[in-house]
Amino acid sequence: MTEESTTPAIVLEKVSKRFGRKVVLDELDLTVAKGESLVVLGKSGTGKSVLLKHLIGLLEPDSGKVLIDGEDLWSLSEEERGKRRRKFGMSFQEGALFDSMTVGENIAFPLQRHTKMSKDEVAARVAECLDLVKLPGAESKKTSELSGGMRRRVGFARAIALTPQILLFDEPTTGLDPITTDVITKLILAMRDKLNPTAVTITHDLKVAFTIADRVALLRDGRIVMDLPPKEFEAVDDPHVKAFVAGDSSFEDPEETTLR
């Protein structure tokens, strides 16, 4: 096994971040192996989205290191850091689609911006991505015509357009009905089987977490306080974990809005 293959995809070393007086991340340590699926749980306001933004280099830590494939993102130039971001595909809450564009144009956007693919090549890649998320032939649809579940799936298609090595999912099932949530969960599993990416997901949904995760981590007080395989996480004797398993984890904190 080569050194490159054993280097973790993601390592956070003593990462801290505060906004004013609020400490959001407090010397947080985290490692995600290549091809692994990690789900991060934490009640609203704990900074889960802030954590994702550190992984992709959208936020700089006040202290500590963010290593992607062994490279410290913030030791690189802005140009080099931008290139490393292309290793990532991120699916945002609600899909975060451009409403002025069609489905096909939304998925084509990163291809047109970051590659030299021809028009025909872009069209073929868009069709391939839509097939993968079970929306064949949806290129000409307007985003206003899409249901919530379809918007998430188009968001997934855009996230995988550049064939990323690392996929980030920000609350992929929030606000969806149980049937659509099940469809999205199965789709995430199918994407993992097809693409074999490293995946980091934040969610409040325990059923989703235990289905898609190799490891489940609990973020509390700015640190990862529990990090276990799903069955071990579910069975652990800890009051905070028990609160999540019992479903007492989805209260809203107004400060969360400022952190996303």
Q: How confident is the model at residue 248 (pLDDT cuts 50, 70, 90)?
A: low
- Quote the pLDDT of residue 46: 84
**Residue 129 predicted with pLDDT over 90:** yes
- Tell me the pLDDT tens digit for each residue of 184-219: 999 999 988 888 999 999 988 888 999 999 999 999
What's the pTM value of the predicted model, to 2 decimals? Answer: 0.86
**Two tokens, residue 236:** 């652990």
Torsion sign over Cα 238, 212, 32, 221: negative
Alpha helices (H) along the chain: 3-6, 48-55, 78-85, 103-114, 119-132, 148-159, 178-195, 206-212, 230-235, 239-245, 256-259
- Quote the pLDDT of residue 95: 58
| Contact call for residues 222 and 22 (beta carbons, < 8 A) | no
| Contact call for residues 216 and 42 (beta carbons, < 8 A) | no
Enumerate the domain spans of the chain: 1-86+218-260
The Cα 208–Cα 36 span in angstroms is: 16
- Quote the pLDDT of residue 4: 53
User: Among 12, 22, 30, which residue's Cα sits nearest to residue 226?
Assistant: 30
- Tell me the pLDDT tens digit for each residue of 28-75: 999 999 999 999 998 877 889 899 999 999 999 999 999 999 999 999
**Residue 1 predicted with pLDDT over 50:** no
- Quote the pLDDT of residue 94: 64
CATH (one of 3.40.390.10, 3.30.470.10, 3.40.50.300, 3.30.420.40) for 1-86+218-260: 3.40.50.300
Angle, CA 35 vertex, CA 89 and CA 222 arms, to 5° = 70
- Quote the pLDDT of residue 250: 44
157-161: average pLDDT:
93
Q: How confident is the model at residue 5 (pLDDT cuts 50, 70, 90)?
A: low
